[in-house]
Structure 1
Amino acid sequence: MDNKLSRRNFLRVVAGSTAGAIAVSAAPIALAAPAKQAEVTGPPNLDDLVGVPAAERVPVNPRVITPYEETGQYGGTWRRAFKGISDRWGPTKLNEEMAIEWDAPTPEDVGLTANFISEWVQNDDATEFTFTLREGLKWSDGDDFTTEDVQFWYDYMYLGELGNKQDYYTLGGVDMELEVVDDLTWTVRFPSPNPLLPIFIAKSTGGMTAGPTMAGPSHYLTRFIPDHENADQAAIDAAMEANGVTSWQELFGTAGDLQGPIAFWFRNPELPVVNAWKSSNLPTEDPHIMERNPFYHAVDPDGQQLPYIDRIEHALFDDNAVFDLWIAQGRIDMQSRHVDSANFTFYKENEEAGNYRVMLWRNASTNALHPNINNADPVLAELFDTAQFREALSIAINRVEINELVYSGLFEPRQASPVTGSPQYDPEFESRWTEYDPDRANALLDELGLEMGSDGFRLRPDGEPLVFRILHRETTGTPGADEMQLVEDYWRAVGLNVSQDVVERSLYEERTENGDVDVGMWSVDRSSIVMADPGRYIGTTDDGPWAPLYGHWWTPGSPLKKVEPPADHPIREIWRLWEEARAEPDEAQRNAIFQQLLDIHKEHPYQIGTVGESPRINIVANNMANFVEGYIADDTLRDVGLINPVQFFFRS
Structure 2
Amino acid sequence: MRRILLSGVAMAALPMAAYANCPAITLSDMQGVSGGAYPQQFELSVFQDAAGCEMEFKTNPDIESLNSKIKGNGDLPALAERLPAEPLVVVPYDSIGQYGGTLDVLSNATEAGTSDFLSVRHVNFVRYSDDLQTIVPNVAKSWEWNDDFTQLTLKLREGHKWSDGTPFTSADVRFWHDNLMLDANIFEKPKDYVTVGGETMTVDTPDDTTVIFNLPAPKPGLLAFFATHYSQPFQPKHFLGKFHPDLSDDADSYAQSLGFENGYDAIKAYYGNSDWTDTPTPMLSKPDLVEGLPKATYPTLESHIYVSDTTEGRHLVANPYFFQVDPTGQQLPYISEQDEVYINDNEVRILKLVNNEVDYKSQSLQLESAPILLENQDKAGYNIQLRPEITMSAFGFNVTHEDPEKRKVFGDVKFREAMSLAINREELNETGFFGQGTPKQYVGFSPLPKFADPAWESYMAEYDPEGANARLDELGLEDVDGDGLRELPNGEKLVLNLNYSTQGVAGQTVELVSQFWREVGIDSVVKEVTPDEYRSAQSSNNLDVSMWRKGQPMAIVLGNNELWVPPFENYFGNRSGMLWAEWVDSAGAAGVEPPEDVKTLIDDITAFQSADQESEEFAELGRSMIKKMVENLFFIGTVNAPAPIFHSDRVQNFTDFKTHSYEYYRTYPYRATQWWLDE
Please give the TM-score of this superposition, normalised by the length of structure 2.
Answer: 0.82
1:419 to partner: Cα distance = 3.8
Going from structure 1 to structure 2, the CA distance change for 1:300 and 1:337 (only over 3 Å counts) comes to same
Q: Aligned pair count? A: 606
Q: Note if 1:146 corresponds to 2:158.
A: no
**Corresponding residue of 2:353:** 327
Q: Which amino acid aligns with 1:365?
A: T
In the alignment, residue 308 of structure 2 is paired with which amino acid?
N
Out of 87, 94, 110, the residue aligned to residue 120 of structure 2 is 94
Q: 1:397 offset after TM fit, Å?
A: 1.2
Cα distance in 2 for partners of 1:371, 1:280 equals 42
Larger radius of gyration: 2
Report the equivalent of 2:92: 67
Instruction: Give the CA deviation at 1:486.
Output: 2.0
Do 1:179 and 1:188's aligned partners in 2 also have CA atoms closer than 8 Å?
yes
Bigger RCO (CA 8 Å, 6+ sep) = 1
227-236 or 431-440, which moves further after superposition? 227-236
Q: Which residue of 1 aligns with 2:655?
A: 628
Q: What's the counterpart of residue 35 of structure 1? A: 47
| Pair 1:340–1:271, CA change in 2 (3 A) | same
Distance 1:547 1:239, change over 3 A: farther
Aligned counterparts, 1:101-120, within 5 A = 101-104=127-130, 107=131, 110-120=133-143
The answer for the alignment partner of 1:80 in structure 2 is 105
Deviation at 1:35, TM superposition (A): 3.0
Following superposition, the deviation at residue 363 of structure 1 comes to 1.3
Specify which of 295, 300, 310 is matched with residue 321 of structure 2.
Answer: 295
Equivalent residue number for residue 530 of structure 2: 504
Find out whether 1:223 has 2:253 as its counterpart.
no
Q: 1:369 to 1:511 in 2, by over 3 A?
A: same
Q: 1:44 aligns with which of 34, 52, 61?
A: 61
Identity %: 27
Choose which of 604, 616, 627 in structure 1 pairs with 2:632: 604
Against the structure 1 CA distance between its residues 237 and 457, is the aligned structure 2 distance closer, same or farther, given a 3 Å change threshold? farther
The question of 1:175 aligning with 2:187 is answered: no
Distance in 1, Cα, partners of 2:138 & 2:284:
19
CA distance in 2 between counterparts of 1:385 and 1:33 reads 60
2:298 paired with 1:274? no
Quick one: which of 473, 486, 494 aligns to 1:458? 486
**1:424 shift after superposition:** 6.7
Contact map agreement 1:361 1:629 (CA 8 A) in 2:
no
1:32 and 1:266 mapped to 2: Cα distance? Answer: 41
Look up the SS of the partner of 2:525 in the other structure.
strand
In structure 2, C-alpha distance between the alignment counterparts of 1:341 and 1:547, rounded to whole Å: 30
Q: Which moved more, 1:48-57 or 1:427-436?
A: 48-57
CA shift for structure 1 position 311: 1.2
Q: Offset of 1:552 from its aligned partner? A: 4.6
In 2, Cα distance between equivalents of 1:139 and 1:597: 42
The alignment's TM-score, normalised by the length of structure 1, stands at 0.85
Give runs of aligned pairs for residues 214-253 of structure 1, distance below 5 A: 215-226=234-245, 228-229=248-249, 231=251, 233=253, 235-236=255-256, 238=258, 240=260, 247-248=265-266, 250-251=268-269, 252-253=271-272
Q: Give the C-alpha shift of residue 258 in structure 1.
A: 7.2
Whether 1:544 aligns to 2:583 is no
Q: Any residues of structure 2 matched to 1:551-562 within 5 Å, and which?
A: 551-554=581-584
Q: What is the CA-CA distance between 1:572 and the residue it aligns to?
A: 0.8
Give, as a single letter, the amino acid of the residue that structure 1 aligns with 2:380: G
Residue 650 (structure 1) aligns with = 677
CA deviation string 1:254-284 (max 9, x = no partner): 4676765459999984210000111111142
Unaligned runs of 5+ in 2: 1-40, 49-53, 68-74, 287-294
Pairing 1:349–2:367 present:
no
What is the aligned partner in structure 2 of residue 613 from structure 1?
641
CA distance in 1, matches of 2:282, 2:603: 34
Report the alpha carbon displacement of residue 533 of structure 1 after superposing the two structures with TM.
Answer: 3.9
Number of the residue aligned with 1:577: 604
Residue 157 of structure 1: aligned partner? 180
- Please tell me whether residue 446 in structure 1 is matched to residue 473 in structure 2: yes
Say yes or no: does 1:376 pair with 2:399.
no
Rounded Cα–Cα distance in structure 2 between residues aligned with 1:113 and 1:580:
27
1:493-519 C-alpha deviation (Å, 9 max, x unpaired): 212232234321112112212222111
Judged with a 3 Å threshold, the aligned counterparts in structure 2 of structure 1 residues 644 and 557 are, in CA distance, closer, same or farther, namely: farther
Q: Secondary structure at the match of 2:604?
A: helix
SS at match of 2:611: coil
RMSD: 3.2
Contact 1:419 1:613 in 2 (8 A): no
Q: 1:19-40 deviations in whole A, cap 9, x for unaligned?
A: xxxxxxxxxx999972326222
2:437 paired with 1:411? yes
Structure 1 contact 74–649 (Cα < 8 Å) conserved = yes
CA distance in structure 2 between the partners assigned to 1:30 and 1:644 by the alignment: 14
Query: Which moved further from structure 2: 42-51 or 517-526?
Result: 42-51
Farther off after superposition, 263-272 or 585-594 = 263-272
Shift, 1:384, TM fit:
2.0
- Work out the CA distance in 1 between the residues paired with 2:355 and 2:546: 35
